[in-house]
Chains A and B, each alone.
Chain A
Amino acid sequence: MEGARLPVEADRAVDAIRHADIVIGIPSYNNARTIAHVVQAVYAGLAKYFPQLTAVVINSDCGSTDDTRNAVLSAQVEDNHLMLVSTPLMNAHRLSFPYHGVPGKGSAFRLVFRMATNLHAKACAVVDSDLRSITPEWIDMLLRPILFADYDFVAPYYQRHTYDGTITNSIVYPLTRSLYGVRVRQPIGGEFGMSARLIARYVERDDWETDIARYGIDIWMTTVAIAEGFRVCQSFLGAKLHDTRDPSSDLSAMLQQVVGSVFMLMEEYQPVWQSKIGSEPAELFGFQFDVGLDPIRVNVDRMVQSFRRGCHELGEVWALALQPQTYADVRKLGRCVCAGDATFQMGDDLWTRVVLDYCCAYRKHPLFRGHLLQSLTPLYLGRVASFVRENESFESDEVEQKIERLCISFENLKPYLKAQWNDEARFHAVEREVGDTAQ
């Protein structure tokens, strides 16, 4: 429980500053290349939009070796070019601490949230440290609904490339939306605004030592806010462009942590999601505009190869994780891929059943949860490959419509999920019913 305590220097900083209206958190790990730009944008945003409020910018670092913390503390912020209407009462404090405990984004946020609570902040926002497209307006859009419209949680709403955010588009958004009945388009976006009430709730929870401490933090924050009835909205932030990274590095761990967190929260909030039917859009603030996005190259062949390997090797695991019909359909698809069918498609219905079967397998423990979640990676890559091939020639609006259709598929199959989740006997009756309807 090392992460439960604030580092000594953070405690000292809280004692010295005592109070801040706004706290901005920036988690980092070896982001010296981009973090100065993020700090400048945050400072400009605070000076331009909240000049009457006191603020603290906290960089919570995971032991970077590339001088990230120095980049934060030495970033030049000149507000004489910002054409400010009001002069800020005082400059925002700038702090940078290494956090303790489990290494990961969640632990970094924990430090920020605890400091925000101790500083009695009215609002808190977090932004990623690898952003290239952040502007001062992001700070306004993330904090204004909290400070002036009584919202508790502001999720980002970006324009992204059609292939960008595939875990979001193919699993987290459709599943969260169908479960909790609120359409938050970027539930794991990375940039959020939160009220003091919600921060206090986050801090008092006791699941910080789980996957929440790592990549699971974003979906955890969104789910807690929605499921516990906090007021949730979205803000349009424009394009999301981040620093270059290797998309295949840590994919399996990333998927395990994010999806594992969704499933873990499903167990906790079972009474909430079981009573929800359909979904409603969350309020969206901000003026929407089209943005030109950099093209993204995706290596489909590599993903197909991974799916093919999964079909060859992971049969014993998938057979335990998936329902017999779903497994039979996956095997059929696997045979097509192994036979060299380049046009294979993992349709919405099959993919939805795969994800929902994994939800129930996570609950029922037919095998270790770690193995279960890691075995999802080849299936996920198969779905992404199928999605990319299917949408190669489509515009982003058309792709968005397809994602919408996937979400509807998740919503339609919610009775299948509930039946399987609650009772195996009842599940088989519903499965037959769903099968009959499909025919």
Chain B
Amino acid sequence: MIETLRTILEGALERLHNHITTYLPAILAALTLMLSAWLIAWIARWLLYRIIKGKAIDRFLRQSGLAFMHGSGRLRATKMVAESVYWGILFTGLLMGINVFNTDLTTQIIQSFVFLLPKLAMAGLILLGGVWLSQYLGRSMLVWAVNEDFPSPRRLAVVVRIMIMFVAVVVAAYQLEFARPVFLTAFILVAGGAVLTVSMAVASGLRTELRRYFDKKGEDAAQSEERSLWSHL
């Protein structure tokens, strides 16, 4: 009885020993790689913040409007480059760490990621474009609505921004082949809902509101005829 127990225990300890001797070096190697990657990423970011001035890139970001993706319009080239490099190195370190285990699962993860990378990049670009467009058109709508005396300019601008971002997210998800039917259905529902809402609104109260608005514009125009000798130039 004691002999059997001893055999079982010895077997368990041996298996544990085997597991430890098999996986511990790999885990240690993976941790070392990830730690090194984090260290390199941190140093690279620290250096880049000090080296890159990026005035020309900043100007490009402002002129192209990409700087406005950050709400304050203060997106800077240095930050973009440094943070991209930081996360890039960190992520590469993570993949290298996983690769150390050399199992079917890890190989599959890495392969999937490598194949996904171009789609991820494209989806990222689509989202970036969506953010840019939503900022630009949202602000255009805001300023136009204020100058044209149109009701609720800020709400209109928010609606424009949300709609464009929603379309961008749907296209990005489609590109990533991520829950395509869900996003497509959601898009159809939202678009259809929006059309239906506008139709019902026009049919009921909005028609009166619009008539009132255009009547007011007409009155203003008629009033301005009286004082039309005035020129701004």
Using a CB–CB cutoff of 8 Å, the interface residues on chain A facing chain B are 161, 163-168, 188, 190, 215, 218, 241-242, 244-249, 251-252, 254-255, 258, 294, 296-299, 302, 305-306, 309-310, 313-314, 316-317, 320, 364-368, 370-371, 374-375, 377-378
Interface string of B83-106 (1 = CB under 8 A from A): 000000000000000000000000
Q: At the interface, yes or no: B139 with Cβ under 8 Å from chain A? A: yes
Shortest CB-to-CB span from A67 to chain B, Å, is 22
List the B residue with the shortest CB-CB distance to A247: B230
Q: Tell me, in angstroms, the Cα distance from A297 to B224 when the chains sit together.
A: 9
List B133-181 residues whose CB lies under 8 Å from chain A: 136, 139-140, 142-147, 149, 153-154
Shortest CB-to-CB span from B135 to chain A, Å, is 9
Contact indicator B68/A251 (Cβ below 8 Å): no
Chain B residues lying within 8 Å of A377, measured Cβ to Cβ, are: 146-147
Which 8 residue pairs spanning A and B have beta carbons closest together? Answer: A297-B227, A244-B228, A365-B62, A252-B147, A374-B143, A246-B224, A167-B232, A247-B230
List the A residue with the shortest CB-CB distance to B139: A371
Q: At the interface, yes or no: B3 with Cβ under 8 Å from chain A? A: no
Contact indicator A375/B226 (Cβ below 8 Å): no
Chain A residues lying within 8 Å of B231, measured Cβ to Cβ, are: 164-165, 242, 245, 247
Known: A247-B227, A374-B143. 13 other contacts (CB 8 A): A166-B232, A190-B233, A242-B229, A245-B231, A248-B224, A252-B147, A299-B224, A306-B149, A313-B154, A364-B62, A366-B73, A375-B143, A377-B146
Pick from A163, A218, A310, A366: contact of B230, CB below 8 A: A163
Q: Tell me, in angstroms, the Cα distance from A375 to B146 when the chains sit together.
A: 9
List the B residue with the shortest CB-CB distance to A188: B233
Q: Tell me, in angstroms, the Cα distance from A302 to B228 when the chains sit together.
A: 15
Contact indicator B146/A314 (Cβ below 8 Å): yes
Shortest CB-to-CB span from A248 to chain B, Å, is 5
Pick from B153, B154, B227: contact of A299, CB below 8 A: B227
Q: Tell me, in angstroms, the Cα distance from A371 to B142 when the chains sit together.
A: 9
Interface string of B29-40 (1 = CB under 8 A from A): 000000000000
Chain B residues lying within 8 Å of A310, measured Cβ to Cβ, are: 146
Chain B binding surface SS class:
helix
Shortest CB-to-CB span from A299 to chain B, Å, is 6
Contact indicator A215/B233 (Cβ below 8 Å): yes
Shortest CB-to-CB span from A296 to chain B, Å, is 5
Chain B residues lying within 8 Å of A248, measured Cβ to Cβ, are: 220, 224
Contact indicator B233/A168 (Cβ below 8 Å): yes
10 CB < 8 A contacts A-B: A161-B229, A165-B232, A215-B233, A244-B225, A244-B228, A245-B228, A296-B229, A297-B227, A368-B136, A378-B146
With A164-B230, A247-B232 in contact, do A378 and B224 touch (Cβ < 8 Å)?
Answer: no
Contact indicator B147/A246 (Cβ below 8 Å): no
Chain A residues lying within 8 Å of B147, measured Cβ to Cβ, are: 251-252, 306, 374, 377-378
Q: At the interface, yes or no: B65 with Cβ under 8 Å from chain A? A: yes
List the A residue with the shortest CB-CB distance to B147: A252
Shortest CB-to-CB span from A347 to chain B, Å, is 21
List the A residue with the shortest CB-CB distance to B227: A297
Contact indicator A317/B232 (Cβ below 8 Å): no
Contact indicator A317/B139 (Cβ below 8 Å): yes
List the B residue with the shortest CB-CB distance to A246: B224
List B11-69 residues whose CB lies under 8 Å from chain A: 59, 62-63, 65, 68
Shortest CB-to-CB span from B218 to chain A, Å, is 12
Interface string of B214-225 (1 = CB under 8 A from A): 000000110111
Chain A residues lying within 8 Å of B223, measured Cβ to Cβ, are: 299
List the B residue with the shortest CB-CB distance to A373: B143
- Residue with the greatest number of chain A CB neighbours at <10 A, chosen from B59, B136, B139, B229: B229
Chain B residues lying within 8 Å of A241, measured Cβ to Cβ, are: 229
Pick from B149, B153, B230, B233: contact of A254, CB below 8 A: B233
Q: Tell me, in angstroms, the Cα distance from A218 to B221 when the chains sit together.
A: 27
Chain B residues lying within 8 Å of A316, measured Cβ to Cβ, are: 142
Pick from A161, A166, A299, A314: contact of B143, CB below 8 A: A314
Chain A residues lying within 8 Å of B145, measured Cβ to Cβ, are: 313
Pick from A251, A306, A364, A378: contact of B232, CB below 8 A: A251
Shortest CB-to-CB span from A24 to chain B, Å, is 21
